[in-house]
Structure 1
Amino acid sequence: MFENYFSNNIQQFILSNANLHIKSSKGETFLFHLIHLYDQNENKEYLITFNNILNKQPLLLSQRNEQGRTIVDDIELTSSLSYYKLQIFYDTIKNILIDQIKNNIIIERFVLNSFGYHLLLFFNDEKIQVTKYVNDLLRSLKLRQGLPALMYDFAQAIEDDDLVKIQNIFRIKSNIYFAKDWSGRTCAHLAVLHQRREILNFICENYNSVISLKDNLNRTPLHYACIMNDEIAINILQHALAKQITDCLNLFPDDYKNNRDLCCEEFYAQDFPKNEIQKCLPGLSDYLKLSFYFPLKKSIEENSIDNITLINNEMNTMGFYLEDFNPNSYINDWLKGQRYIPLLFVALEHRSISSIQCLIELGLPPIGRMYISKSINNNNSRCVSFRTRAEELECFDIIDMINNLEDDNELKHVFKRHLSSHEINHSQTSLNLEEQLKRKKLSQQRSSVPKQYVKSDDNKSQTCILL
């Protein structure tokens, strides 16, 4: 990228001193940008620069965008053309991680940054030599013990307003304040969100450096306090000398405090704490797709109940559940070059009745939608406008598909057994179903599908109306 203009020493100097933590409005670092550039134009200079940056700052791998996605997810969740093109970046990432795998401090920071589970994608091979500490750390991720369990307890203690437990956790792990969730939030962010003033005050007095750490959108705890207009939290943070730092929209905390119009829906300003706490990022479902989807898909295709159960048990041990999978698939949902098909649709396609029953009994909600462009088979599709294509999205609702089965009562019975005793109404099923099957995660009450236009059709289920 630079070689025609700068010597190698100058290139290294620039990369060493550049602020590579700056993000776009979507929360993406320069590494995301390099991948996107390479996807458009396969210039090897982008890959060389990518490699040089990560060699200098490997922890940039753990940075996430607004959806909670890392660059690993960005590479793996692409269409077939981009996926095979970008595999060279995946290989580069693996080589850099192999170089760092014996560095206890770096690997621990990866885990604290909630990138630990992604390490398992690269290091399930027992042939790779690691230190005993790293080996125990990777094992603890699979069993949800040690540091991962401590991180969970730490976040839970803040929610429970248990200062004594928090103090005990700090005695066990003094640098636990580095811990971030999948939204990039630290203990200080969570203390502001939950309005735990005593805990926030304790953190500011004893671990002051944490108040400068940023979430996925480069927002500090002071940003949160100003968006919430929480004067007490603002005073605590200002007393601790919290800095005015710009976020991804180039806005300071005071900008939100002094101009309430800036606190738009994008930042959940109306009931910000509740919505921010409950929101579930696509990044969680994305990780499960990368780690567990294909083994589950194969088990469903083989109608192997034993394998489905074993995989589910492994997920549960790590703290994940079948309900964490996105039940919907939009037209741009890809996984390792293949279209992402929700698990129930896979089972329905193969008429794996035992698998369907097993999945639902294990906690997978019997809901889901797939969106397919009607113009995909149109010979003149290149002449169709973008708006027309958007209006011609076809929605396939899992319950509608079951209801419309005329000669497969056995399959219909499996689904109906798990619904309420009320008669399933064709136009209201999905709304009632979602109401019955409310889970802890808000993602299953709201579609993760972006706003689009769908051609009006009174015969379709109400779930086909994109929210």
Structure 2
Amino acid sequence: MFENCFSNNIQQFILSNANLHIKSSKGETFLFHLIHLYDQNENKEYLITFNNIFNKQPLLLSQRNEQGRTIVDDIELTSSLSYYKLQIFYDTIKNILIDQIKNNIIIERFVLNSFGYHLLLFFNDEKIQVTKYVNDLLRSLKLRQGLPALMYDFAQAIEDDDLVKIQNIFRIKSNIYFAKDWSGRTCAHLAVLHQRREILNFICENYNSVISLKDNLNRTPLHYACIMNDEIAINILQHALAKQITDCLNLFPDDYKNNRDLCCEEFYAQDFPKNEIQKCLPGLSDYLKLSFYFPLKKSIEENSIDNITLINNEMNTMGFYLEDFNPNSYINDWLKGQRYIPLLFVALEHRSISSIQCLIELGLPPIGRMYISKSINNNNSRCVSFRTRAEELECFDIIDMINNLEDDNELKHVFKRHLSSHEINHSQTSLNLEEQLKRKKLSQQRSSVPKQYVKSDDNKSQTCILL
């Protein structure tokens, strides 16, 4: 990018001293920007600059945007044209990670930054030599043991307001305060959001440096304390000399405190802290797509119940569930150059009745939508069979599609049986399908899709329509 303007020494000096953690309003670092520039104009200088930055600061790879996506996700979840164009960046990332794989400290920080699971995408090859510590660390991710389990227990202890357990975890792993969730939140962020004042005070007194760490939106714990107008948390953080740092919107914590109009409506909601903590980022679903979608898709197409069950067991062992997959697919949802088609839509298209029954019994909610642009050429559409059922629809609802099936009572019966009685059990949540369908109906009413394109009955629940 500035190769022809400066000598190599000056270039290295600039890259070494530049603040590359600055983010755009979408939470994206400069590395995201370089990839987008290359996608628009295949200039090799963008790749060279990317390579130089990444070599100097490899942990930038674990930075996520507002949706919880990493650079790896940004490359892999693109349309076919961009996907093949950007593979050169993917190869660069892999080569640099291979150079770093023997660095125990860097790899541990990747795991603490919740990038550990992405490492498994690169290092499933047993031929790559790693240290025993790194090998054990990667293995612990697959089994949810060791450090990954400790990170989960740490976050859970904050939610449970269990200071004694937190103190014990710090004795086991003194640098656990570096741990971040998929939203980039540290223990201090969580203590503020959960309003655990005693825990926050303990963190500030003993691990003061953590209060300056930022989440995906470059917000510190003080930002959220001011957004929530939590005077007690603000006083604790200010007493600990928390710094006034700008977030990705270039706003200081005091800006939110002094000008409430800057806060979005969600911040005024009665359950803001709870909703903020529990919101499901697309980043989680994105990782599952990269790691498990294609094996599941193949198993569904082959109607292999055994393979579906094995893959599900592997996911569960890692702490993931089928319900974590996004049940919807929007026009710009791509996966390795292919349009992302939710699992139930794949099973329905292939009429894999056994697979549908297996997926639902394993916890996949029988809900979902597929959005298709009217301008798409049917001959090139992966979902041509769906369009023949409702040519004028832009939004295909899984329940509506089942309702519209003719002479296929067996398939209808599978959905009817599970919609009327089945409950989805999760280690953290337990929501029955009736509640999910109520939420689904509410989201339909709020949807921006024109009503003439969506079949619905405001007087009946989806369960009633089917039954």
| TM-score normalised over the length of structure 2 | 0.90
**Cα distance change on mapping 1:453 and 1:49 into 2, 3 Å:** farther
Choose 215-224 or 425-434, whichever is displaced more: 425-434
Equivalent residue number for residue 166 of structure 1: 166
Decide whether the 8 Å contact of 1:280 with 1:442 is kept in 2.
Answer: no
Decide whether the 8 Å contact of 1:76 with 1:336 is kept in 2.
Answer: yes
Deviation of residue 3 (structure 1)? 1.6
**Cα distance change on mapping 1:449 and 1:263 into 2, 3 Å:** farther
**Cα distance change on mapping 1:308 and 1:356 into 2, 3 Å:** same
**Cα distance change on mapping 1:160 and 1:369 into 2, 3 Å:** same
What is the alpha-carbon distance in structure 2 between the residues aligned to residue 289 and residue 378 of structure 1? 25
Deviation of residue 377 (structure 1)? 3.4
SS, match of residue 452 in structure 2: coil
**Cα distance change on mapping 1:382 and 1:367 into 2, 3 Å:** closer
Deviation of residue 423 (structure 1)? 17
Deviation of residue 271 (structure 1)? 3.2
Decide whether the 8 Å contact of 1:186 with 1:215 is kept in 2.
Answer: yes
**Cα distance change on mapping 1:204 and 1:358 into 2, 3 Å:** same
SS, match of residue 23 in structure 1: coil
Decide whether the 8 Å contact of 1:375 with 1:392 is kept in 2.
Answer: no
What is the alpha-carbon distance in structure 2 between the residues aligned to residue 276 and residue 17 of structure 1? 34
Decide whether the 8 Å contact of 1:397 with 1:464 is kept in 2.
Answer: no
Percent of residue pairs bearing the same amino acid type = 100
Deviation of residue 274 (structure 1)? 1.4
Deviation of residue 67 (structure 1)? 0.2
Q: Deviations over 1:87-143 (max 9, x none)?
A: 000000000100000000000000000000000000000000000000000000000
Choose 267-276 or 175-184, whichever is displaced more: 267-276
Q: Deviations over 1:352-404 (max 9, x none)?
A: 00000000000000001100111223999999999999998701111111111
SS, match of residue 37 in structure 1: helix
**Cα distance change on mapping 1:178 and 1:195 into 2, 3 Å:** same
1:229-240 equivalences under 5 Å are 229-240=229-240
Equivalent residue number for residue 108 of structure 1: 108
Q: Deviations over 1:158-216 (max 9, x none)?
A: 00000000000000000000000000000000000000000000000000000000000
Deviation of residue 433 (structure 1)? 5.1
What is the alpha-carbon distance in structure 2 between the residues aligned to residue 381 and residue 325 of structure 1? 22
Gaps of 5+ in 2: none
Choose 377-386 or 164-173, whichever is displaced more: 377-386
**Cα distance change on mapping 1:79 and 1:219 into 2, 3 Å:** same
SS, match of residue 431 in structure 1: strand
**Cα distance change on mapping 1:385 and 1:445 into 2, 3 Å:** closer
**Cα distance change on mapping 1:233 and 1:116 into 2, 3 Å:** same
Deviation of residue 86 (structure 1)? 0.1
Deviation of residue 452 (structure 1)? 13
What is the alpha-carbon distance in structure 1 between the residues aligned to residue 390 and residue 409 of structure 2? 35
Number of aligned positions between the proteins: 467
What is the alpha-carbon distance in structure 2 between the residues aligned to residue 378 and residue 441 of structure 1? 29
Choose 447-456 or 343-352, whichever is displaced more: 447-456
**Cα distance change on mapping 1:442 and 1:293 into 2, 3 Å:** farther
**Cα distance change on mapping 1:383 and 1:145 into 2, 3 Å:** closer
**Cα distance change on mapping 1:426 and 1:126 into 2, 3 Å:** closer
Q: Deviations over 1:260-297 (max 9, x none)?
A: 11111365765320110110100000000000000000
What is the alpha-carbon distance in structure 1 between the residues aligned to residue 8 and residue 424 of structure 2? 68
Gaps of 5+ in 1: none
What is the alpha-carbon distance in structure 1 between the residues aligned to residue 162 and residue 36 of structure 2? 44
| TM-score normalised over the length of structure 1 | 0.90
Considering only aligned residues, what root-mean-square deviation do their CA atoms show, in Å? 5.6
Choose 79-88 or 396-405, whichever is displaced more: 396-405
Decide whether the 8 Å contact of 1:328 with 1:368 is kept in 2.
Answer: yes
**Cα distance change on mapping 1:454 and 1:248 into 2, 3 Å:** farther
